[in-house]
Structure 1
């Protein structure tokens, strides 16, 4: 369902009144974004460029101001019509503000500034606050990328222990099954793209297209032919083996993979009888790899049983690290998959002597939907304002919740070249902007100006984003 694209209306209702609420003499404001902790102690920064290109690249026009004026008049909020007309007439509809951020793909400890937003027109100091709602939606791609990255670390550890080719196996070990489980096509695009920072397997088409649109990646993810329950059960229970045979004849070719959901009736019988006996020779002769997909029951127990039954039917080879690798077949688990069950399945399989090569995972709702802003406690706060020509610190310190204390002053993020330490620091008085700060003793700037007065200053490629995340 297409939604309105008027930038002025991409905000919270109460934001329309905030231009009247700053102290007299305020002509500049400074905001920052941070993760105030949460489930993980580090975040993978990603998604800002998509927001900038998707929303801020389109200038505001007088027709947009007219529409917003009429909406807020009926909605019960005051509206800064003169301020928005000024932006259209003076800045060509481009928002007068500067955005600095860490390079996308950077893995940064929590409690550090990831983005700073500052006004650049003394006549429009209210602009950064107005777009808080839009910019804080960063929490979603950052959180999905972080979750995916953490799962990648888990799987990588098991591959390092049990696989002869961990680097070659890892990119396709977590497949995105989440498109149908999210709230919108936009969520599928943003979340699916965020997952692809870490992996290359996906069935979320919107995520691949978003990576192409916003980061210039021609093909960020890949999939394989796979059965669903309807394409198996439409053959009827008595012809289940024919449904599997059809999958093999249609898609199993030398070097190919084909996935077959096998639990429509009795997955253990399907492996023992249909796949392991009746079709065994066809599987082997095809030269392809058959990927069996369980889709019900206890994930840890069912996966272990399936791998053991496939081992009985097709045999396995002991690799260089002393773990068994199935011949001709693999398993993908796509039901009940989350970070905890992934670890539990891998612990069971490797404990039984099987390499992590044998299993891949498909994660849906747990990857793209079962996260929220509080997963990593994201916040966008004002930390400084220039009033009567003097910068003053702006902060909150609620007595009821120390976790909501905010940072104060104009801020930037620096990183130590040798030790890799990150530190959020104040910009000294008298220094115009963070970019003008002189650093020494091994510290370097960790932020760069990515957007200024309606212009994208840094256009990051998806390949560069992936490389940063992989190196962390």
Structure 2
């Protein structure tokens, strides 16, 4: 979207006037990002590297300044033309800021600083504030990665209880169906890539491109041939079994997986008569695993009944943990799936004696769209400013909402070397830099400098990020 390429216009209107609003003598500012609570008690940090590559790596130009000057003049707000031209001339158009953050994939309890932004040029102290609008959009990939990660922990618990191969099964147990349910192609790419921090299954093609472009992932996720209602119902109700037979003929090869939506008319009839009787031997002889997809009704009830009917038709083995694993067939539930229903469905089937191996999930709107900045109460706030050579605390503490109280001072996120606990601490105002602060006993810096004056200092592959997220546990 080339008409949106100007970084100076990737902000809120009121930001354009803020350079005039700081106290006289201000020459440095310090900001931080945190989750102030929300639905989950910890978040998975992801998405900063892509934001920086996409928006800050390209230098601004005098032409960008011209465009922004003219737009804001017509729009009715002041614009710091001289300040931006200074950055073009003195910094080659790159932002004179430092960004420190936890490594992506790190799971951090809420109420901790996840990243900090500080100015590096006294003549451009106002730049971190100007970039807030763009940088705070980190809330979206972090929140998607967090939802996906928590769903993964729920699925992991049931697999560890009921499966002989929980770690082998887990990466493909939650499939991203969300591309059509989001507000834009870019949202699908960003959110879809955030899900791929935790799982390997996706139908969101733009997420693959995003992971390739920004996270060195040649192929970040995988899918299988699958039917939709139109490809089944186009055969007519009387031809339903022929539609299924065609799916087997086209895709059911030894070792293959093929998913077939089977509730266009009557899911239970489709299983007992078509899959379990007419096509039963063809399924067995194909050597493939056929994944039946119900797509309506109460998921807890429907999934269990589908498993029971498939069990009657194809039988099962009993694994080493005493749970039933179906022969030749599986079920994928993609309707009405959210982190809560995943647990309810798995509780239902495992109580009935079926291993979690038998079931996978597809998640769409609840994964990529049914969330907002308040899901995890994300905020980017100024916590310190240097005025007349002295660092002062900057904070808000509204009497009407203590939950919006912000942190004070220049901040560091520390982690205990032995126990892994996180602690956000202020740097003494007398310290010239963060490095001058004495570390509490047993703690180390949990952040790294990711960006310094236009240079990306940490450029990690998705595999590294996945490794961090996967080692964390509830």
CA deviations 1:289-311 (Å, max 9, x no partner) are 00000001111111111111000
SS at match of 1:201: coil
CA distance in 1, matches of 2:436, 2:103: 18
SS at match of 1:202: coil
Shift of 1:436: 4.5
Shift of 1:377: 0.4
Shift of 1:131: 0.3
Shift of 1:441: 1.8
SS at match of 1:423: strand
SS at match of 2:32: strand
Shift of 1:2: 5.7
Please tell me whether residue 201 in structure 1 is matched to residue 201 in structure 2.
Answer: yes
CA distance in 1, matches of 2:29, 2:72: 24
Match of 2:459 in 1: 459
Shift of 1:419: 1.2
Match of 1:293 in 2: 293
SS at match of 1:30: strand
CA distance in 2, matches of 1:194, 1:207: 8
Shift of 1:431: 3.1
CA distance in 1, matches of 2:390, 2:416: 31
TM-score with structure 2 setting the length? 0.98
Match of 1:432 in 2: 432
RMSD of the TM alignment (CA)? 0.9
Match of 2:341 in 1: 341
Which stretch has the larger CA shift, 229-238 or 422-431? 422-431
Shift of 1:426: 1.3
1:31-430 equivalence runs, <5 A:
31-430=31-430
CA distance in 2, matches of 1:291, 1:435: 56
SS at match of 2:73: helix
SS at match of 2:123: coil
Please tell me whether residue 448 in structure 1 is matched to residue 457 in structure 2.
Answer: no
CA distance in 1, matches of 2:139, 2:24: 32
CA distance in 1, matches of 2:209, 2:174: 19
Shift of 1:340: 1.1
TM-score with structure 1 setting the length? 0.99
CA distance in 2, matches of 1:2, 1:347: 49
CA deviations 1:257-284 (Å, max 9, x no partner) are 0000001111111111111111100100
Shift of 1:45: 0.5
CA deviations 1:410-438 (Å, max 9, x no partner) are 11111110111111111234433324544
CA distance in 2, matches of 1:132, 1:420: 30
Contact between 2:43 and 2:143, CA under 8 Å: does it hold in 1? yes
CA distance in 2, matches of 1:166, 1:59: 47
SS at match of 1:332: strand
CA deviations 1:324-346 (Å, max 9, x no partner) are 00000000000010111111110
CA distance in 1, matches of 2:24, 2:445: 34
Shift of 1:38: 0.5
CA distance in 1, matches of 2:436, 2:465: 26
CA deviations 1:141-165 (Å, max 9, x no partner) are 0000000000000000000010011
Identify unmatched segments of 5+ residues in structure 1.
none
SS at match of 1:284: helix
CA distance in 2, matches of 1:366, 1:39: 13
SS at match of 2:159: helix
Contact between 2:31 and 2:117, CA under 8 Å: does it hold in 1? yes
Query: In the superposition, relative to structure 1, how do residues 222 and 416 fare at CA in structure 2: closer, same or farther (>3 Å)?
Result: same
SS at match of 2:381: strand
CA distance in 1, matches of 2:33, 2:389: 25
SS at match of 1:191: helix
Query: In the superposition, relative to structure 1, how do residues 313 and 2 fare at CA in structure 2: closer, same or farther (>3 Å)?
Result: farther
CA distance in 2, matches of 1:85, 1:164: 63
CA distance in 1, matches of 2:196, 2:436: 35
CA distance in 1, matches of 2:12, 2:378: 17
CA distance in 2, matches of 1:34, 1:443: 20
Equivalences, count:
472
Identify unmatched segments of 5+ residues in structure 2.
none
Contact between 2:202 and 2:221, CA under 8 Å: does it hold in 1? yes
CA deviations 1:384-409 (Å, max 9, x no partner) are 00001111100000000000000000
Shift of 1:460: 1.3
CA distance in 2, matches of 1:342, 1:421: 29
Query: In the superposition, relative to structure 1, how do residues 436 and 209 fare at CA in structure 2: closer, same or farther (>3 Å)?
Result: farther
SS at match of 2:124: coil
Match of 2:5 in 1: 5
